């Protein structure tokens, strides 16, 4: 009797599955981080509802905050971090001006490329460079917690690079 488990049918091994897990996690992490750069909060006036769920007879209105996405809400970094970076002599303003608009789209593109398996080794290397640059910036302003989180991401990328030969379900084989 042959073993016809889905993993066997697809020819998957432990290392194949380990790499797939890393690829999916890192891809979704970058994609969501990039999309969140386009999020914002808007206040909307909504009627106060009574106990039955109908608008209150008094006509009272509430201001309710909603999360929305759009190009007009793009923010590479919170203003507090931008202010800290502005005072850093090791981070020239012209570099920051180039980096800020590119950060969100870069995260989205790298996340999608990794999820789809497009030039996986190169995508992982570019993601490592991006996270290293982000780490350097956080080191400059003393954000040690952020540095630690990015170090974990870099460790996962490094591990994924050691398993990249186990890549399956990719649009390109490299």
Q: Could you read off the pLDDT tens digit of each residue along the chain, which spans 174 residues?
A: 456 676 665 777 888 899 999 999 999 999 999 999 999 998 888 888 877 878 877 878 788 888 889 999 999 888 888 888 888 888 888 888 899 999 999 999 999 999 999 999 999 999 999 999 999 999 988 899 999 999 999 999 999 999 999 888 888 876
Nearest to 160 by CA among 119, 124, 107, 112: 124
Which pLDDT value is given to residue 103?
95
Give ∠ CA 151-172-36 in degrees, rounded to 5: 45
Are the CB atoms for 30 and 107 separated by under 8 Å? yes
Structure tokens at 143: 């954000």
Query: Which residues are CB-neighbours of 69 under 8 A, at least 6 positions away?
Result: 35, 38, 39, 40
Are the CB atoms for 28 and 114 separated by under 8 Å? no
Nearest to 169 by CA among 21, 4, 3, 5: 21
Q: What is the pTM of this model?
A: 0.82
Sign (positive/negative) of CA torsion 63, 64, 69, 75?
positive
C-alpha span between 144 and 24 (Å, rounded): 27
Measured in whole angstroms, the distance separating CA 29 from the mean position of its chain's CA atoms is 4
DSSP state letter for 137: H
C-alpha span between 121 and 13 (Å, rounded): 19
């Amino acid at each position: 009797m042959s073993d016809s488990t889905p993993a066997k049918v697809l020819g998957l091994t432990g290392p194949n599955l380990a790499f797939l897990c890393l690829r999916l996690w890192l891809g979704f992490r970058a994609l969501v981080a990039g999309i969140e750069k386009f999020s914002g909060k808007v206040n909307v006036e909504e009627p106060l509802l009574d106990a039955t769920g109908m608008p209150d007879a008094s006509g009272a209105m509430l201001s309710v905050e909603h999360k929305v996405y759009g190009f007009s809400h793009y923010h590479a970094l919170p203003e507090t971090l931008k202010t800290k970076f502005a005072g850093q002599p090791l981070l020239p303003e012209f570099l920051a001006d180039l980096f800020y608009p590119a950060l969100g789209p870069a995260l989205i593109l790298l996340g999608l490329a990794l999820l789809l398996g497009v030039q996986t080794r190169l995508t992982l290397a570019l993601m490592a460079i991006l996270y290293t640059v982000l780490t350097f910036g956080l080191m400059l302003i003393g954000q040690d917690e952020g540095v630690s989180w990015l170090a974990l991401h870099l460790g996962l990328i490094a591990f994924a690079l050691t398993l990249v030969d186990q890549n399956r379900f990719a649009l390109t084989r490299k």
